[in-house]
Chains A and B, each alone.
Chain A
Amino acid sequence: MTPPRPTTNLSDVDPEARPELGSRPPDPALRRPIVAERQTPPETTPAPGATAAGLSVRLEGLRAFYGDTEQLRGIDLDFHANEVTAIIGPSGCGKSTMIRCINRMHEEVAGARAEGRVMLDELDVYAPSVDVVAVRRAIGMVFQKPNPFPTMSVFDNVAAGLRLTSRRRGDLHARVETALRGAGLWDEVSHRLQEPGAGLSGGQQQRLCIARSLAVEPEVILMDEPCSALDPIATLKIEELIAELKTRVTIVIVTHNMQQAARVADRTAFMLDGRLVEVGLTQDIFTKPTDTRTEEYVTGKFG
């Protein structure tokens, strides 16, 4: 499959000099790990947890469209490596669209396109020579609704991440166990790995989905309101998990729940109407925001 070519790209590469897709020339953008790793896979992949750090993500003038509707109107935002950044803002302000642009899921929607740059460390993920599949392996995603694969057992759901991405090297069982432990689910499911993944509770299903993402060993995990379908106890477990995970991945979490942002996030960004209003340390955003709109939102005056 040819990865969908980004419709527009503002990277500073001269269009004339832009290499053909697939020819893999010495593009400076390709020095970065996700592509290098695909070309020369390491003999022994360290287990997640042992791997070092997440990567930073930087949005530069990111604009996103659905057909003619401009949903993101130019966003510049830094996500620091190994930090949790929460995105807050009223419904429809473009939070989900923004994080879907980061791992290029946005372009899966018919008629959707993005402009601007998304820099994963030093790689522009929208550069024409970049393989979208490799980008998504490096940047995992957890969705609002827990969606384990219904035809698969608990074990196969986690292994699916490895099988689907042809990373089935080493001991599959050990890697599934590591991923499940990483998601804080191992003790609850170790005795029923062969039961259907859809048979778990909602909170367990969501942690199963997190384990599935972890199994591929991404450097960044995007979470799109991961707790909105869960009860407070399950939510708490996911939040504890997020705090643990940030030692090895960079986390971006979209949430409607401002207490949640305050509990889990190092930094918080407030969006309104497709624009970034303000970003800063979480405690600053909630206690002394510089923009009055942020203050009105976090104090519940609108939204």
Chain B
Amino acid sequence: MSAPAPSVELVARFGVSPARRRKDRVARGAILAATILALVPLVLIVYYLLSKGLGAWSSSFFTTDPTGNTFFKSSSIGGIKSAIFGTIEMVALASAIAVPVGVGVAVWLVEYGRNSWFAHAVRFFVDVLTGVPSIVFGLFIYIVLVVGTGSSFAGYKGSLALSLLILPVVIRSAEVILLLVPSGLRESALALGAPRWKVIASIVLPTALPGMVTGVLLAVARAAGETAPLLFTAAATKKTSYDLNGFMNSLPVQIYSDVTSPTTSVVNRAWGAALTLVTLILLLNLIARLISRRSRLA
């Protein structure tokens, strides 16, 4: 079917003017350039992590503790086992503290507090906490639990600092997800004659669960990468420790201390540890994505 060529008037009225075509091309080019510009550092980070970090990886890298020897080339500097275990232990304890409390606060805000002045006050303080730099949480725990009690650094103190750090994130993400649960579900359960706590426990929380797990995992991933709260609460140590009451090593602190070393092999260990940390966080993010795909909420 070939249509007759449109008249000149029609082309003038409905055709795209060359000036608009130019503007469109310039605008598209600008936003594409911005996107590429933003990708450059990302790609470079991944490139350096892989090229330098993979070189440091070996089987003994994950199975040995750092020896502390950085001066004699003949002996080994050791791996990052203590840092991996320390990070996992401290982050696990931090999550065990922050997640129940945070979800509890979110449930209270959404189901009970709603628009009361106290709920608004809580939301305001949670927002303030979200913006507090991580080193301030470390400092707080240092003043209260290290200096304040006259005791020394300990893994659980690092966990407390991390849990303070992620608590506002957990609260806010859980609150957002709980608000997404349709009010019709709550109403129909209430209208059946269910007490409110049962509605929350059997209807609201299961519906919100996948979304909440995603938010929690993202918060946990953030905690795993933090150096500042651990520097003067859990400190750094060489030995792998399962005692949260003692000094505890962690990946970010290990990286921090290694990267300032004058010895090349130790700096390389920092790269290897950084790649390990990024891989761990990437895994958490992947799990979070898989779970959020199962979510029944929009």
Contacts and interface: CB of A to CB of B under 8 A. Distances in A.
Interface residues of B, number: 24
A161 B193 CA distance: 8
Interface in A132-185: 133-138, 140-141, 143, 145, 147, 149-151, 160-161, 163-165
Given A1-B196, A151-B206, A163-B202, A136 B185 contact: no
In the complex, which range does the number of interface residues on chain A fall in? 20 to 34
A141 B199 contact: no
Contact of B207 (A108, A110, A151, A160): A151
B188 interface: yes
Interface string B229-252: 000000000000000000000000
A149 B204 CA distance: 9
A113 interface: no
Interface in B35-87: none
A105 B193 contact: no
Interface string A208-219: 010011001000
B198 A164 contact: yes
B26 interface: no
Interface string B278-298: 000000000000000000100
B194 interface: yes
A204 interface: no
Nearest to A103: B191
Contact of A136 (B190, B197, B198): B190
Interface string A52-95: 00000000000000000000000000000000000000000000
A103 B194 CA distance: 13
B122 interface: no
A212 B182 contact: no
Chain B interface SS verdict (over half): helix
A141 B296 contact: no
A160 B185 contact: no
Greatest chain A CB density within 10 A among B186, B196, B197 is at B196
B114 interface: yes
B192 A140 contact: yes
B265 to A, nearest CB: 53
Nearest to B199: A164
Contacts of A145: 184
B195 interface: yes
Contacts of B259: none
Contacts of B296: 150-151, 198
Interface string A84-124: 00000000000000000001010010100000000000000
Given A147-B182, A160-B202, A108 B192 contact: no
Contact of A165 (B193, B196, B197, B207): B193
Contact of B185 (A138, A141, A147, A213): A147
B127 interface: no
Interface in A277-297: none
Nearest to B201: A164
A160 to B, nearest CB: 7
B194 A133 contact: yes
A177 B234 CA distance: 59
Contact of A147 (B115, B188, B196): B188
B192 A136 contact: yes
B179 interface: no
A165 B185 CA distance: 15
A133 B190 CA distance: 8
B133 to A, nearest CB: 36
Contacts of B194: 133, 136, 164-165
A141 B115 contact: no
A149 to B, nearest CB: 6
Given A160-B202, A163-B202, A149 B192 contact: no
B193 A136 contact: yes
Contact of B193 (A1, A134, A147, A151): A134
B189 interface: yes
23 contacts: A105-B191, A108-B190, A110-B114, A135-B193, A136-B194, A143-B184, A143-B187, A143-B191, A145-B184, A147-B185, A151-B203, A151-B206, A160-B189, A160-B192, A160-B202, A164-B192, A164-B193, A164-B198, A164-B202, A164-B203, A165-B192, A165-B194, A212-B188
Interface of A: 1, 103, 105, 108, 110, 133-138, 140-141, 143, 145, 147, 149-151, 160-161, 163-165, 198, 209, 212-213, 216
Given A105-B191, A141-B188, A161-B192, 13 more contacts: A1-B195, A108-B187, A110-B115, A136-B191, A140-B191, A143-B184, A143-B188, A147-B184, A149-B188, A150-B207, A160-B192, A164-B198, A165-B193
3 interchain residue pairs of minimum CB distance: A137-B193, A164-B194, A141-B191
